[in-house]
């Protein structure tokens, strides 16, 4: 008897009420209907979501797309995407996102699953443009934006990535949704391994990425009531390097980097260094005003915006609440 896979999927969708659960059911049990398995997967999902920063009632704000690894060519890698406007996103002092469900969607801590991991070679990135996207009906495919020399180096460093999670044997199961805090941190560390290779080849934004990834880990640790001081110091080192080497071609990102350096130094108790970086904003502002006399097309917007943010946290540095979410 031939199995009508589409009919099975339709019935599962009605029983499970979640397309992502349908996909997981098919991956785990195949195209069949079994009430015991349906109940089992729903119970497991409910328990896991509570442990993985997903709360409240409402629709699932996350949907899946399939990508291909540019390093080992593994296909059908699951990437988790947020539906537009499904979460209210606020930012802490380090510009890390805090998610709250809105418009009928439940809350999801997207930071835990925003990194996509190849289950074969452990290439990882939160940017889907770093992966290949095979064409589908009515869609145009896309190749990875990562340069050929970086991809070649990443192929050679597969063993190093696997050493980062040497106690894990089933990568696919470990990194699937919902992710534990430990799995989320491991996925981001794998992204840092990739960005480290990009930094070696002096790719733009590589140190900024490394700093931002470290801040995500620090945020996850904070949410789990664990000490994140060493990780914040790690992030500061990367942002320092990004600014000193002019690794961010975008002025907006460069000014955000400078602001983050000020904020991190204040959080870590080094007011002298924070103040020295704060003064850099004034220097840059003066330089820009001079440049605008010769080129009126230039403006002060990015410098002004991030300098104002930096001055605000400097002025409030003695207030106990200033870094309570970081």
The helix or strand, by DSSP H or E, that contains position 110, with its residue range, turns out to be none
Q: What is the pTM of this model?
A: 0.82
DSSP bridge pairs for 64:
80
**Any bridge partners for residue 46, and if so which?**
none
What Rg value do the Cα atoms of the chain yield, rounded?
22
Spatial distance between the Cα atoms of 86 and 208, rounded to a whole number of angstroms: 27
Angle at 190 between CA 155 and CA 239, to 5 degrees: 110
Please, is 139 exposed, middle or buried when counting C-beta atoms within 10 Å of its C-beta (0-12, 13-18, 19+)? Answer: exposed
Q: Name the residue ranges covered by the structural domains of the chain.
A: 1-51, 54-202
pLDDT tens-place values along the chain, 326 residues long: 566 778 888 888 878 776 767 877 887 888 888 888 888 877 766 655 555 557 667 899 999 999 999 999 999 999 999 999 999 999 999 999 999 999 899 999 999 999 999 999 999 999 999 999 988 766 778 999 999 999 999 999 999 999 999 999 899 999 999 999 999 999 999 999 999 999 999 999 999 999 999 999 999 999 988 999 999 999 999 999 999 999 999 999 999 999 999 999 999 999 999 999 999 999 999 999 999 999 989 999 999 999 999 999 999 988 877 887 78
3-class secondary structure, 81: strand
Instruction: State the Cα–Cα distance between residues 158 and 147, nearest whole angstrom.
Output: 17
* Residue 178 backbone phi and psi in degrees, to 5: -80, 150
Predicted local confidence at residue 57, as pLDDT:
72
Distances (CA, A) of 30 to 25, 33, 39: 7, 9, 15
CA–CA dist 259, 158 (Å, integer): 35
8 A C-beta contact, residue 203 and residue 188: no
What three-state secondary structure class fits 250?
coil
Q: Dig out the tokens for 170 from the structure.
A: 């089933």
Alpha-helix runs per DSSP H in the chain: 5-16, 19-29, 35-51, 148-156, 158-164, 171-174, 181-200, 206-223, 229-244, 251-267, 271-294, 301-315
Task: List the one residue out of 60, 57, 47 whose CA is nearest residue 21.
Answer: 60
The token duo for 260 is: 């983050």
| Alpha-carbon span 261 to 57, nearest angstrom | 38
């Amino acid at each position: 008897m031939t199995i009508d896979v589409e009919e099975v999927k339709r019935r599962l969708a009605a029983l499970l009420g979640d397309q992502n659960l349908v996909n997981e059911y098919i991956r785990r049990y195949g195209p069949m209907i079994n009430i015991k398995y349906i109940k089992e997967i729903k119970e497991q999902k409910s328990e896991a979501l509570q442990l993985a920063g997903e709360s409240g009632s409402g629709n699932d704000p996350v949907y899946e797309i399939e990508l291909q690894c540019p390093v080992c060519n593994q296909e059908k890698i699951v990437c988790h995407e947020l539906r537009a406007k499904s979460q209210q996103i606020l930012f802490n002092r380090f510009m890390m996102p805090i998610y709250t469900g809105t418009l009928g969607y439940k809350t999801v801590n997207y930071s835990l699953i925003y990194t996509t991991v190849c289950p074969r070679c452990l290439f990882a990135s939160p940017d889907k443009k770093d992966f290949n996207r095979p064409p589908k009906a009515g869609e145009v495919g896309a190749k990875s934006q990562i340069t050929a020399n970086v991809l070649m180096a990443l192929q050679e460093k597969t063993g190093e990535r696997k050493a980062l999670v040497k106690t894990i044997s089933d990568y696919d199961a470990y990194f699937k949704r919902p992710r534990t805090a430990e799995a989320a941190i491991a996925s981001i560390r794998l992204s840092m391994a990739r960005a480290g290779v990009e930094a070696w080849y002096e790719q733009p934004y590589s140190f900024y990425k490394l700093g931002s990834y470290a801040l995500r880990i620090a945020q996850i640790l904070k949410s789990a009531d664990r000490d994140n001081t060493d990780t914040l110091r790690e992030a500061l080192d990367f942002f320092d390097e990004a600014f000193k080497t002019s690794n961010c071609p975008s002025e907006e990102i460069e000014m955000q980097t400078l602001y983050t350096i000020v904020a991190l130094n204040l959080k870590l108790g080094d007011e002298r260094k924070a103040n020295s970086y704060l003064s850099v904003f004034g220097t840059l502002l003066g330089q820009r005003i001079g440049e605008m006399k010769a080129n009126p097309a230039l403006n002060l917007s990015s410098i002004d915006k991030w300098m104002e943010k930096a001055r605000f946290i400097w002025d409030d540095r003695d207030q106990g609440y200033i870094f309570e979410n970081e």
